[in-house]
Amino acid sequence: MDHTAALPAPARRIRRIRRAVLAASATLGAALVAFVAQRPLRHRHTGWHAWVGTVNGVVVLTVAALPLAALAVWVSARRRTAAGGAPEWARRRSVAEVGMVYGTVPWVWMTMLPGSGAGVAPRRVSLVPLRDLIEVVAGAPVTAIVQVVGNLLVLAALGFFAPVRFAALASVRRVLVLGVACSVLIETAQYVLWLDRVSSVDDVLVNAAGAALAARASRRWWRTAGGAPAGRPRSAVPAGR
C-alpha cells in the first residue's frame, strides 16, 4: 500500500466536513428565511414573547446564536485536542455535537409555539397517513413547499450528525427509528400541552424521512464501532474489545 498517497486524505475529509456543514447551514438559513418571508417582519407582541413566542423571534435568536455555536465547536475541539485526542476526530466530534443541538432546537422550538386557540380550542389528532400531506400539497405552492421542506428539516440536523457522533446510530434504519421516536414525542407534547396544533401522523412520517435522508447524506463521515469514520481503512484502527 502506498502510504504517501494516503496522507492528504485527512485534509480532504476535513474539507468535505466543512463543506457539508456550510451546506447544512445554508439550507437551514434558507428554510428560516422562507418562514420569515411568509410573515411580515413585525410583531403584534411586545417584550419577551416577541422573541421566544413567535417564529420571527426564533429566527432572529437562531441567527444570533450562530457565532456562539461556532465558538462552542472551537472550544470543545481545543479541549479534546489538549487532552490528547487527534485534531481531526476532535473537530469532527465537536461539530457533530454542536450541530445536532444548533440545527434541531430552533425547529423543535417552532413546532411547540402555541396557536391562537391554545388551551381553548379542542385538541386535534390526525391518524390517517398521507391525508394531511395531500391537503397541503394540493394547496398554495409556496405554503406547500414551506410546510413540506420545514417538516423535512425539523430533525434533519439530528439525522445528519447523530451517526457521525455515535457509532450505535451509524445506520439509516436506526436513524429512521430515532426520527420516528423523536417526532412522536413532539406530536405527543403538542397534544398534551394543548397548543392548538394538529398532532398528525404525517408530521411523524415527514420528520422521520428528513432525518433518514440527512443521515444518508452524511454516510461517508459516520463513526464506526472502532471510532473511525465509515470511509477510513479499518487497518489503521485498533481492534475492538
Q: What is the pLDDT of residue 5?
A: 46
47 by Cβ neighbours in 10 Å (0-12 / 13-18 / 19+) ranks as exposed
Distance CA 145, CA 172 (A): 25
Grid cell digits, residue 12: 480532504
Q: What is the pLDDT of residue 48?
A: 74
Alpha helices (H) in the chain, listed in sequence order: 3-6, 9-38, 49-52, 55-64, 66-82, 87-111, 131-137, 141-153, 156-165, 172-192, 201-217
Q: What is the pLDDT of residue 240?
A: 41
Q: What is the pLDDT of residue 208?
A: 98
pTM over 0.85: no
Distance CA 103, CA 99 (A): 6
pLDDT digits (tens, 9 = 90+) for 71-113: 999 999 999 999 999 999 999 999 999 999 999 999 999 999 9
Distances, alpha carbon 34 to alpha carbons 39, 40, 91, in Å: 9, 11, 31
Distances, alpha carbon 5 to alpha carbons 8, 14, 43, 89, 238, in Å: 7, 17, 58, 21, 22
Q: What is the pLDDT of residue 230?
A: 58
